Structure 1
Amino acid sequence: MKLLIIDDDKIVCTSLKTILSSDSEINVVEMGYSGKDAIALYEATKPDVLLMDIRMEFMSGLEAGEHILSKHSDAKILYLTTFLDDEYIIKALNIGAKGYMLKQDFEGIISAVKAVNLGHNIYGTEIVNKLPKLLSQQEEHFSYETFGITEKEYEIILKIADGLSNKEIAEALFLSEGTIRNYISLILEKLSLRDRTQIAIFYYKNRHY
């Protein structure tokens, strides 16, 4: 797996390279220190995953990510930052980033990068905990009818987005866990998703922010 690292702190870049290169499956092809570097180096190296900071001088990681994704919709971008700002999280979701983690969670960075490379969406616990609150402040504008989602299935999607387990959803809706699992399988099939996490992320991304 080819990995591109972008962070305006050269020490952070070097440290991340050392940590990630310790895994034989990860090849750090290049490092950059600005949003402009990210755009140029992405074109030059065509990495499998771009690991990037958000706040950088002249051009932010979010601006760079939006530019890259506008040209390469399949780009897999994982943001690694110290900032938990609502606007940053929302922007990352809206532009199609694959993940958002805090630098304090660096212990899990290797597994996170690998998961993103496999197509999974990775969001740190602090980010996931903030999403329902952000969600409640926004207006719904996306119709699930296009995908054939029923009212009951949509209700289950809401419960998943709120972080409820299958057992908790079953209790809330007075259904069996087996029935909930069947509903979730149908939802995954209709939305062409792989797992419960992707259902939640799909829901967040299709809100009006």
Structure 2
Amino acid sequence: MIRILIVDDDALVTMSLKTIVEATGQIEVVGTGNSAEEAVKLYEEYKPDILLMDIRMGEATGIDAAKEIFSKNPSAAILLLTTFSDDEYILEAIKIGIKGYLLKQNLEAIVPSIKAVNKGQSVFGDTIMNRLPELLKTADNNLSPYLELSEREQSILVLVSEGLNNKEIATKLFLSEGTVRNYISHLLEKLALRDRTQLAVFYYKNVQN
């Protein structure tokens, strides 16, 4: 059973989401809230597997709540749900380690996304990921960390940014999947990043501009 916390400033939306996800019989809603402040408080209280949270909730946003939660729980799995496909929110969400960013009008994707995030995957979707290079064109570059990577690490970073999985990277570079996993772990550690999505963001922001 996947334990989730739902936070949205619209109580009707919160209850509708609860009904949708619990109908699967595989997801339990351990708590609900209606503000960024409640999100932080309830996360500490319930420590859910996943926090499903709106972004725009009054003065404090879901992004603000996520930052505070990450400060105490670096491995928290947070899935943002919003009606706003806002470039600034998308970039900020990915940079701080959000696991997913969904639009409310895409209700059929909510349950599959929760399941994917629970397995450690990121669920920003092709539409958002395809927009990243354009969104990051105006960002300030910092090539120093990239230049400190070995040639092999740079190659793997490029392939990760292109969306290849470990098996595909292993085949392309004539390596074992285990070796690729080790390289990616080292990349994450060297660049102080959380996951593959942030590796792609780093590449597009600092290298491929």
- TM-score by length of structure 1 reads 0.79
Q: Does 1:192 align with 2:192?
A: no
Q: Which residue of 2 aligns with 1:34?
A: 35
Contact 1:98 1:122 in 2 (8 A): yes
Deviation per CA, 1:57-82: give whole Å up to 9, x if none.
Answer: 12100001101101111111011111
Q: How far apart are the structure 1 equivalents of 2:69 and 2:37?
A: 10
- The 3 A distance-change label for structure 1 pair 164 and 187 is closer
TM-score (norm 2): 0.79
Kept in 1, the 8 Å contact 2:31–2:42? The answer is yes
Question: Does the 8 Å CA contact 1:17/1:28 hold for their aligned counterparts?
Answer: yes
Cα distance in structure 1, aligned partners of 2:124 and 2:48:
20
Aligned to 1:174: none
SS state at 1:13 partner: helix
Work out the CA distance in 2 between the residues paired with 1:181 and 1:30. 47
Aligned length: 194
For 1:68 and 1:154, the matched residues in 2 are separated by 32
Q: Which residue of 1 aligns with 2:65?
A: 64
Contact map agreement 2:4 2:28 (CA 8 A) in 1:
yes
Cα 1:136–1:185 shift into 2, 3 Å: farther
Query: What is the match of residue 130 of structure 1?
Result: 131
Unaligned runs of 5+ in 2: 187-194
Counterparts of 1:142 and 1:95 in 2: how far apart (Å)? 20
Question: Is the partner of 2:51 in helix, strand or coil?
Answer: strand
- Whether the 8 Å CA contact 1:78–1:100 is kept in 2: the answer is yes
For residues 129 and 119 of structure 2, the distance between their equivalents in structure 1, rounded to whole angstroms, comes to 20
1:128-164 Cα distance to aligned partner (Å, 9 max, x none)? 1211212333314462466xx5436524533552458
